[in-house]
Amino acid sequence: MLAATLVCTSIALIFFWVPEDADQGFSQKIFYFHVPIAITAYACFGWGALKAFVHLWKRSPEADVQSYVAIHLGVIFGALTLITGSIWARASWGVWWTWSSQQLVLFLVLFLFYSAYFMLRFSVDPGPARANVSAVYALFGVVLIPISFLAIRLANDFIHPVVFTSAGPQMAGSMFFTFCVALAAMLALASALYRLELAGKRLDATMKRLREALE
Amino acid sequence: MIRARRLSRRFGQKRVLERLDLDLEEGGFLVVTGPNGSGKTTLLRLCAGLLAPTGGELRVEIDRGGIGFLAHEPLVYRELSALENLELFGRLYRVPERRERTGMLLERFGLWNVRNERAGSFSRGMLQRLALCRTFLHEPELLLLDEPFNALDAEGTELLARELEELRPERTFLVATHDPERLSPLTTGSLTLA
Amino acid sequence: MRYFRDVATLARKDLLLELRARDTVPAMLLFVVAALVVFHFALPADSSDLAAYGLLWVALVFTALLGLVRSFSAERDQGLLDGLVLAPCDRSAIWLAKALAMLAFLVLAEIVALPAFAIFFTGIGWKTVAGVALANLGICAVGTLLAAMAAASRARELLLPLLFLPLAIPIVVGGVGAGVVEDGGRYLGLLAVYDAIFAIICWASFEYVVTE
């Protein structure tokens, strides 16, 4: 499974060498990283919220761990989104940060929100209480995404940023295909990491159980 | 009324209760003893529904309104008077004839004269008496008492012992205590936690 | 009907507690005025009125935080949340009652803050007031639930601002927009949507925050 996803990722990388955008040149290729990573981050947060809901519904501690891992990955991908976005902004417009990119601003807000998730989780002792509280917070997050998006869009009216047209590139056939492969690769990567981390946690738990049984 | 099978509860790494089996029939009076930290309070909080088990199963066949819980803390608002506190809980527990019942309990526990004073000004023993009033206020069928004789002076102890005797019939009790002999005439079973 | 009677009982209790202790509301009043004074010194001489509006909202959000941190302090310090959770009433009534009490405190603070702002900086139109009113609902609803979450943790006073500020961003956008933009109605709409959605979620999920 792991091997397949990594191959997938590398294929996407190879494809990079194929089309190069007329306007922006090589730097535009960051787009193939940036947007799939962003979409993957959203997917992770969504999955985390889904598992959180399952946990509250079924009171299942498994679901709590799954939710945590998903959100953990989401934050990592979110940080990558911010970084790649920043690099792209630097390459395209010469600034490290721009408030006019609604995508980036949204991610910044979400990054803050989900970082607080970890602060919350680590300041409550492990147990059913922590799982419940984390789950509720994860659900808040997923609701915050559309509302923040709306808010940020409206905010542009009075923040009057320097307007950079940040429209995506025109997607020619081969570009679109590359994009899709990159997206698939990112999602597969996330999925593999998710499974890996979960397996690791399960192993931890089993070890703990064994240790206790031996005591 | 209470049934536990392999009940376990851990806090992080610490395992406080482990695979505990418990049966408390209706009308029973079970006394729980054990050294500090053995899990008496945890067991009571589990039965009250304040904690969820981390392993095993626990069934308590009565809904929230029928449980009277006496915790380590008195669970009264320090800024409110004794009367106001009981009024509050009386309303929340939908106690019928609230005023009469409140007055009666305050008198029973010797708090009638200080009923309008802030609970924050009470001594520890008086707080315990007020907490007992709160516990018995809604005439619960299941009583979970965590060291009820704690902090009570001789008079308070008398009052409580008398109240327990009166309430004994038709109610179920689970009492954690360091002093089981005092309750032995009422006891139907005992459990010692390690 | 029982539900609303429970809410009334609990809200009355919270208001009574504040009346006796008299610590939260005076602190909020003093804080908001002090913050406005600080902002006067923080704004360069030729700043627009618009910048002042933004700072008004910053002041309001942090004043609300001040109140929210103390929201569950009695229950937390004396373990009283157990007492309330054990009662047969719906747990969401606890949330609603606290949120309503908090709303009262916040409105009291604003009765002083808004005129002070008008005197120190610039006048306030009806849209700003409407924005403040709508924002209050969102702040109290979400803030109360987060306060309960933070109360369960070890790092209470530190955690609540961290949890609250990201969620407060849409509120600030809505509030500032309503006062500043020509066609401010959309921003009031944003606030209304925020309030409606989050109120429902808070109402439905409070039970899970305070029980196991």
B18 close contact with A: CB closer than 8 A: no
Q: In this structure, are residues C68 and C143 in contact, taking their beta carbons and an 8 Å threshold?
A: yes
**What pLDDT sits at residue C102?**
96
**What pLDDT sits at residue A209?**
80
B12 close contact with C: CB closer than 8 A: no
Higher pLDDT, B18 or A3: B18
Contact: B52, A212; criterion CB under 8 Å: no
Contact: B84, C16; criterion CB under 8 Å: yes
Question: Beta strand B142-146 with B67-70: parallel, antiparallel or unpaired?
Answer: parallel
The rounded mean pLDDT for chain B is: 91
Question: Who among B75, B84, B118 is closest to C79 (CB)?
Answer: B75
pLDDT over threshold 50, residue A18: no
pLDDT over threshold 50, residue A167: no
C177-186: average pLDDT: 82
Q: What is the pLDDT of residues C81-124, one digit of tens each?
A: 999 999 999 999 999 999 999 999 999 999 999 999 988 887 88
Q: What is the pLDDT of residues C164-181, one digit of tens each?
A: 999 999 999 999 888 887
Chain C positions in Cβ-Cβ contact with residue B92 (cut-off 8 Å): 6, 9-10, 84, 87-89
pLDDT over threshold 80, residue B187: yes
The rounded mean pLDDT for chain C is: 91
Residues of C near A (Cβ–Cβ under 8 Å) read 50, 145, 149-150, 152-155, 159, 162-163, 165-167, 169-170, 173-174, 176-177, 180-181, 186-187, 190, 193-194, 197-198, 201, 205, 208-209, 211-212
Q: In this structure, are residues B177 and B32 in contact, taking their beta carbons and an 8 Å threshold?
A: yes
Which residue, among B87, B78, B49, B54, has the nearest Cα to B66 in the 3D structure? B49
Give the minimum alpha-carbon distance from A128 to chain B in angstroms, rounded to a whole number. Answer: 7
Contact: B52, A59; criterion CB under 8 Å: yes
pLDDT over threshold 60, residue C34: yes
Question: Who among A109, A129, A148 is closest to C152 (CB)?
Answer: A129
Q: What is the pLDDT of residues A103-146, one digit of tens each?
A: 888 999 999 999 999 999 999 888 899 999 999 999 999 999 99
B194 close contact with C: CB closer than 8 A: no
**What pLDDT sits at residue A140?**
95
Q: How far apart are CA A127 and CA A134, in angstroms?
A: 11
**What pLDDT sits at residue A164?**
47
DSSP, collapsed to helix, strand or coil, labels residue A168 as coil
CB pairs under 8 A between A and C: 94
Q: How many CB atoms lie within 10 A of CB C70?
A: 19
**What pLDDT sits at residue A22?**
43
**What pLDDT sits at residue C104?**
96
Q: In this structure, are residues B5 and B57 in contact, taking their beta carbons and an 8 Å threshold?
A: yes
Angle between helices C156-180 and A102-122 (to 10 degrees): 160
Contact: A119, C197; criterion CB under 8 Å: no
What ipTM goes with this model? 0.90
**What pLDDT sits at residue C63?**
95
Q: In this structure, are residues C108 and B105 in contact, taking their beta carbons and an 8 Å threshold?
A: no
Report residue A64's pLDDT band, with 50, 70 and 90 as the boundaries: very high
**What pLDDT sits at residue A21?**
47
Q: What is the pLDDT of residues B57-92, one digit of tens each?
A: 999 999 899 999 999 888 999 999 999 999 999 999
Contact: A120, C159; criterion CB under 8 Å: yes
**What pLDDT sits at residue A3?**
58
**What number of residues does chain C have?**
212
**What pLDDT sits at residue B1?**
82
- Please report the residues numbered 139 through 158 in chain B whose beta carbons come closer than 8 angstroms to any beta carbon of chain C: none
Higher pLDDT, B141 or C1: B141
Contact: A151, C205; criterion CB under 8 Å: no
C20-41: average pLDDT: 91
A55-65: average pLDDT: 89
Report residue A73's pLDDT band, with 50, 70 and 90 as the boundaries: very high
Q: Which H or E run includes B29? A: strand B29-33
Contact: A128, B15; criterion CB under 8 Å: no
Q: Rank A98-102, C61-65, C156-160 by mean pLDDT and report only the highest.
A: C61-65
Contact: A126, B12; criterion CB under 8 Å: yes
**What pLDDT sits at residue C188?**
92
Delimit the domains of chain C by residue range.
2-210
C198-211: average pLDDT: 94
Q: What is the pLDDT of residues C133-162, one digit of tens each?
A: 999 999 999 999 999 999 888 777 889 999
**What pLDDT sits at residue C109?**
95
Q: How far apart are CA A130 and CA C118, in angstroms?
A: 44
Q: In this structure, are residues C209 and C148 in contact, taking their beta carbons and an 8 Å threshold?
A: yes
Q: How far apart are CA A198 and CA C32, in angstroms?
A: 47
Q: How far apart are CA A57 and CA A50, in angstroms?
A: 10
Chain A residue with Cα closest to C153: A124
Q: How far apart are CA A195 and CA A65, in angstroms?
A: 12
Chain B residue with Cα closest to A209: B13
Q: What is the largest CA-CA distance in chain A?
A: 67
Q: In this structure, are residues C161 and C174 in contact, taking their beta carbons and an 8 Å threshold?
A: no
